[in-house]
Amino acid sequence: MAPQRNRRPGFSRRAQYVLFLGYVAAALGALVGAVLLILSTFDPPAYAVARGALRELTTPVSSGLHWVRRGLASIPEGVGDYFGVVGENQRLRADIERHRGTVARARQLVVENARLRRLLAVRDRATETVAVARLVSASASSTRRYATLNAGHWQNVRSGYPVRGPEGLIGRVVETSPNTARVLLTSDPESVVPVRRTRDGAPAIAAGRGDGLVDIRSASVANLAFRAGDLFVTSGAGGLYPPGIPVARAAADSRDAAQARLLASPDALDFAIVHRPYLPAPTPPPPPQAAAE
């Protein structure tokens, strides 16, 4: 015959001990409650003392539990703040990389602004306009580049005077007659103009090529790097051309020398402005006989 089944399947001795201890705890709780009830009814001062003692015992426990609960509750917020800080850091790094070029351009503008302020502080002694004359003709196909002005020495135009247009430098006067003047254009192979680069002030020389372009060569640093779009203006060196007149713009990236396109095209101009030289010509020394006298 099959054995009789256990009426309490899977009920271990440990479970029995736990159940027994639960009963004991419940009985003790009921007993303590009854004692406190009796004290609160018949002896309120003793009840107050017991209540204070119980409070002293339970306060540290409740404080510790409150601290643990608060720490556990702050974990999700801390994790969210961490990932938020990481995302913000990444966005700030991206902003820094995106604005790096803007900062570099701003620094270049600061340098250029300082140079322009220094130029404004210089007393310009050679920008006096001598004449405004019409460009009668300009050689566009010959290897020698000249232009003709309908103003000569009767209009106080002299050989060596610089000539410019609204966009930039045209050249210099090399020959005059009563009412005409011959102008050597900047693109002529015999033309050499001291210039400087606007973004950093690097000195250079603009030499004509005879084909409408000029070669820009560094005057101070070997193997200087040129970038497409670099603007060159007259530097005032040599005392002929006033400083700050636009001359040419680099056509491509290169080193040591760069081809540049002139900003002023004589073929597209109707009028030109003739200035006096930037610095007066040096006084020639007296002859030896006059010096001895």
Q: How confident is the model at residue 124 (pLDDT cuts 50, 70, 90)?
A: very low
Same domain membership, residue 73 and residue 31: yes
- Its domain, for residue 19, covers 15-121
The residue out of 98, 121, 144 marking a domain boundary is 121
Q: What average pLDDT does the segment 109-128 reach?
A: 63
Instruction: Quote the pLDDT of residue 234.
Output: 92
For residue 189, pLDDT beyond 80: yes
- Between residues 101 and 211, which one has the greater pLDDT? 211
Same domain membership, residue 152 and residue 248: yes
Give domain status of residue 292, yes or no. no
For residue 9, pLDDT beyond 50: no
| CA nearest neighbour of 167 among 278, 277, 276, 270 | 270
Query: CA-to-CA distance for 271 and 168, rounded, in angstroms?
Result: 12
Query: CA-to-CA distance for 259 and 263, rounded, in angstroms?
Result: 13
CATH number at residue 173: 2.40.10.340
Name the domain count of the chain.
2
Same domain membership, residue 41 and residue 156: no
Query: CA-to-CA distance for 253 and 237, rounded, in angstroms?
Result: 26
Same domain membership, residue 178 and residue 107: no
For residue 194, pLDDT beyond 80: yes
Would you tell me how many other CB atoms lie within 10 Å of the CB of residue 10?
6
The residue out of 92, 121, 150 marking a domain boundary is 121
| Angle in degrees, CA 23, 27, 33, rounded to 5 | 145
Give domain status of residue 6, yes or no. no
Same domain membership, residue 166 and residue 96: no
Query: What mean pLDDT is reported for the chain?
Result: 79
Would you tell me how many other CB atoms lie within 10 Å of the CB of residue 204?
26
Same domain membership, residue 171 and residue 99: no
Tell me the per-residue pLDDT of 84-110, one tens digit each, with 9 for 90 and over: 777 788 888 888 887 777 877 788 788
Question: Do 136 and 163 contact (CB within 8 A), yes or no?
Answer: no
Tell me the per-residue pLDDT of 53-68, one tens digit each, with 9 for 90 and over: 766 666 776 677 767 7
What is the number of helices (H) and of strands (E) in the chain?
3, 14
Same domain membership, residue 117 and residue 242: no
Same domain membership, residue 154 and residue 73: no
Same domain membership, residue 193 and residue 109: no
The residue out of 121, 147, 175 marking a domain boundary is 121
Query: CA-to-CA distance for 95 and 101, rounded, in angstroms?
Result: 11
